[in-house]
Amino acid sequence: MDDKELKYLIHSIVEKDDKSAFEKLFRHYFIQLVNYTHSIIGQKETSEDIVCDLFVNLWHNRKTLHTINKLSYYLYAAAKNRAINHLS
C-alpha cells in the first residue's frame, strides 16, 4: 500500500467513519502484525487476539488517526507493547 492510498484510507476512516476503508487497513496489516506478535509471545491464537484488540482500539479512537505520522510504526509499537504486557 502506497502513502497516497494510506492517506486516502485514513481520511475516509476519520472523516466518514468508513468501515470498508478500515477493513482494508485491517487486512493490509493483520497477518504481518500477528506474525510479529507471535514472534514475541509464541502463541498464535493469543497473537491474533492481541492484534484484533489493537484494531478495535484503533477504530474506537479513529478520529485521532490523522495525528499519527507513520501508521505502520505506530501499529508495530502498539503490538509490541501489548505483547510484552501479555507476557508480564
43: domain CATH number is 1.10.1740
Q: How many domains does the chain have?
A: 1
What value does the mean pLDDT take over residues 53-68? 96
Q: Is the pLDDT of residue 7 over 90?
A: yes
pTM recorded for the entire structure = 0.92
Q: Evaluate the CA torsion angle 20, 52, 4, 1 in order and state its sign.
A: negative
List, as one string, the DSSP characters of 33-82.
HHHHHHHHH--HHHHHHHHHHHHHHHHHTGGGGGG-S-HHHHHHHHHHHH
pLDDT at 71 over 90: yes
Task: Indicate whether 1 pLDDT > 90.
Answer: no
Across the range 54-83, mean pLDDT stands at 96
Burial class of residue 72 in the structure, from the number of CB atoms within 10 Å of its CB (0-12 exposed, 13-18 middle, 19+ buried)? middle
Model confidence over 39-56: pLDDT tens digits? 999 999 999 999 999 999
With bands split at pLDDT 50, 70 and 90, how would you rate the model's confidence at 13? very high
Provide the residue range defining the domain that includes 57.
3-87
